[in-house]
Amino acid sequence: MPVSYARQGRIGLITIDNPPVNATGHAVRQGLMDAARDFAADTGADAAVILCAGRTWVAGATSRNSASPRRRRSCPT
């Protein structure tokens, strides 16, 4: 999975690890949704931080995903 959730103390860590530039393809977007749900269910976490593995922050969407049909997205509440 290109996105993981872990907790350090009372802080939830949502890590994007999608080399080489942490592009936000479908798997990353789905992973972010899943990690947000994990954080919401984690009663031991007071806050969450989104970070990227490697040396880059999110570099944008991959071009192969821009040609695919749009999917209806819903954000967790």
- Write down the pLDDT at residue 72: 59
Q: Give the pLDDT confidence of 18-40 residue by residue, as tens digits.
A: 988 888 888 999 999 999 999 99
pTM of the model: 0.76
Domain membership flag for residue 37? yes
Residue 77 placed within a domain: no
In this structure, what CATH number is given to the domain that contains residue 23? 3.30.300.220
75, part of any domain: no
Q: For the residues of 2-46, what is the DSSP string, one character each? A: -EEEEEETTEEEEEE--TTTT---HHHHHHHHHHHHHHHH-TT-S
Residue 44 belongs to domain spanning: 3-61
Would residue 21 count as lying in a domain? yes
Does any domain span residue 69? no
The answer for residues whose C-beta is within 8 angstroms of residue 76's C-beta and 6 or more apart is: 33, 36, 37, 40
Domain count, the chain: 1
